[in-house]
Structure 1
Amino acid sequence: MSGLIVCATQRSGSTLLCELLKATGVAGVPNEWFQHFKDTGLADQPRQYLAGLDDPYVRSLLPPLDPGTPESDFDFEKVREAGTTPNGVFAAKIMWSHTDDLWARLRGRTLEDVFGELRYVQVIRRDKVAQAVSLWTAIQTQAWRDGDEPRAEPVYSFAAIRHLVEWLTVGEQAWTAWLAPRDPDVVVYEDFARDPSPTIEALTGVPASPPPLKRQANGRSAAWVARYHGENAEAA
C-alpha cells in the first residue's frame, strides 16, 4: 500500500477522514505534521487566517500575534517515524496554507523523494459559506474538535466570513491545480459524511469504524450561514 497524503483546507471535513483512516491501523497516521510555521515555530494563530483584511472590528476580536521562536531545523525522519503504522505505511495531512514552508523545507526535493510512493487524497467541501462559518467560529473559540473547551463566545462578522470564503476557495483551487498531474482521489465532505465506509474501504481495503467525532455544526452555524447569504445578496 502506498503512503497517503491528505490535501485539504481548514474545516473541510479532513479531520473526520483522517481519524477514520487512523482507526484502520493500516493507513499511516495522517496528522498535520507540517502545520508549524518556520518563522514562529507555532501552528496557525487567529490573526493569520484574517491577514489582509483591514477591519478594526474583526481585529479587536482576535488576540495579538505571538512571535514565537523561529524554526532552526526540521526533522523529516522523525515525521516519517511518527506518521508510519507498523505495516510501513506513512500518512500526513497537509493544509494548503502550510505548503510554502513545506516546499522550503524540502529544498527542491519532492514528497516522494522523502516518503516514497504516495497516493494523494483531496478533501473538498462544496458549501464554502458553511466551511467559512465553521472556521470563523473555531478561530474565535479555539475549539477545533468536539470536546474542546471554548475559550471565547464567538460573534458574527460578515467581513470575516467573506474573507474566509475567498481564502478557502483560493486554497482549494491551488490544491486542485497542484494535484492535477498526480491523479488524486477526491473526497467530497457532504457525500463522505453521510456514509464514510465506501471511501475508507476504497482507500485502505478495510471497512470503516463508527465515526469517532461528532459534528460541531449547530443552530448558530445554520443561522450565521443564512444571515451571510442574506447580507451578501443585499450587497450584490
Structure 2
Amino acid sequence: MMDVYEPKFDQPEYTKDARRYYLICSAPRTGSSHLCELLIASGVMGVPAEYFNNRSGIRRMTKNFGIGRNGHVPMERYIELLKKHRTTANGLFGAKIQHWQIGNLTKAKLISKHFPGAKFIHLTRADILAQIVSHNIAVRTGNWNSMQGHEALELDRQSLRKSAQFICEERAAWDYFFAANQIDPLHIRYEDLETDRDSVIAKLFDFVGVETDFDFLQQPTALRRQRSQINADWIDALKSDAGY
C-alpha cells in the first residue's frame, strides 16, 4: 500500500486555470484505496487520496504544506494548495471522500466553489454483509490494509451492529447527497473492480474524459478478498440478528 501523503507524490506546481475535477465517493472497505493507486499509476488522473479525513489526510498534508495551527485548518487555503500540488500536467485533480468527512466542505459550499463541474464516482460494495464484517475487523484491529491479527478476535455483536449502522448510514447518506444535488454519478462496485478491473477503469476514464494508453494489466492486483472462518461466522451472526 503506497503512502500517498508523502511529498514525493506532489506534482510540479499547477497554476493554470484550466482544471478538471473528480471525486470518488466511497465508504470503508469498498476497494477505494486500490482504485486510487491504479489511477495514480496512470500519471494522468491526478493523485486521488483521502484528503478530507481529519485523522490522516488533513493532518499529513497540512503538515507538508506548513499550514494549520492549534488544530485549526484554513480549509480554503488547504484546498488551493492541494489543487496546486496534486494536479497532474493534464489539469486533472481527483480526491476520494467518505460521507462522514464531507461536513467541512458542504457547510461552506466548498465543493461547488473549488471543484466546479466535478465528476462524481460512487463506489459501493454489493455484498454489504461482507463489507460490515470487514469494517468491524479493521476497526477492532486498527489494521486497514490487511487482515493481520484478526484471528484472535471474538464475536462482539454490539460492535458488529455499530459497524452495520455506520456502513448503512454512509451508503444512504451518499444516495441522499446525490438526489438532493441532482447528481448522476458513475456507479462502480467493488465486485466489478475485483473481477473486471480493466473494463471498470476504462469506463471511469471515459466518464471523466481522459484518454490514456497506460497498460493497467501490468499493475499488481492488490484487491483480494481476505476471508476466513471468522468472516463467515460473523456474516451468519448478522443474518441471525436481522432475521424475521
Short-chain TM bin: 0.7 to 0.9
Map 1:13-24 → 2, pairs under 5 A? 13-24=31-42
Q: Which amino acid aligns with 1:132?
A: I
Percent of paired sites with the same residue: 26
Partner of 2:216: 208
**Residue-pair matches, total:** 202
2:81 counterpart (75, 78, 83): 78
Give the secondary structure class of the aligned counterpart of 1:120.
strand
Q: Which amino acid aligns with 1:189?
A: Y
Partner of 1:11: 29
Q: Relative to 1, partners in 2 of residues 1:3 and 1:218: Cα closer, same or farther, differing over 3 Å? A: same
Q: Verify the 8 A CA contact 2:121 2:188 in the aligned structure 1.
A: yes
Partner of 1:139: 139
Determine whether 1:196 maps to 2:205: no
Cα shift readout 1:74-129 (whole Å, capped 9, x = no counterpart): 3111221343222210000000011112324xx234x2421343110001112222
In the alignment, the residues of structure 2 paired with residue 149 and residue 157 of structure 1 have an alpha-carbon distance, to the nearest angstrom, of 18
In the alignment, the residues of structure 2 paired with residue 193 and residue 213 of structure 1 have an alpha-carbon distance, to the nearest angstrom, of 9
Determine whether 1:164 maps to 2:163: yes
Q: Which amino acid aligns with 1:175?
A: W
Cα shift readout 1:172-221 (whole Å, capped 9, x = no counterpart): 11111212312110001122211111111122244534344142522132
Map 1:32-111 → 2, pairs under 5 A? 32-36=50-54, 70-74=71-75, 75-104=78-107, 107-109=108-110, 111=111
Give the secondary structure class of the aligned counterpart of 2:49.
coil
Greater Cα offset, 134-143 or 196-205 = 196-205
Q: Verify the 8 A CA contact 1:4 1:28 in the aligned structure 2.
A: no
CA RMSD of aligned residues (A): 2.6
Give the secondary structure class of the aligned counterpart of 2:153.
coil
Structure 1 runs of 4+ aligned residues shifted over 6 Å read none
Give the secondary structure class of the aligned counterpart of 2:114.
helix
Q: Verify the 8 A CA contact 1:142 1:150 in the aligned structure 2.
A: no
Give the secondary structure class of the aligned counterpart of 1:172.
helix
Q: Which one scores higher on RCO, CA 8 angstroms, separation ≥ 6?
A: 1
- Please give the TM-score of this superposition, normalised by the length of structure 2: 0.72
Give the secondary structure class of the aligned counterpart of 2:216.
coil
Where structure 1 has 5 or more consecutive residues not aligned to the other structure, the ranges are 44-68
Partner of 2:43: 25
Q: Relative to 1, partners in 2 of residues 1:83 and 1:176: Cα closer, same or farther, differing over 3 Å? A: farther
Q: Relative to 1, partners in 2 of residues 1:22 and 1:171: Cα closer, same or farther, differing over 3 Å? A: same
Q: Relative to 1, partners in 2 of residues 1:82 and 1:31: Cα closer, same or farther, differing over 3 Å? A: farther
- Please give the TM-score of this superposition, normalised by the length of structure 1: 0.75
Q: Relative to 1, partners in 2 of residues 1:117 and 1:211: Cα closer, same or farther, differing over 3 Å? A: farther
In the alignment, the residues of structure 1 paired with residue 82 and residue 231 of structure 2 have an alpha-carbon distance, to the nearest angstrom, of 35
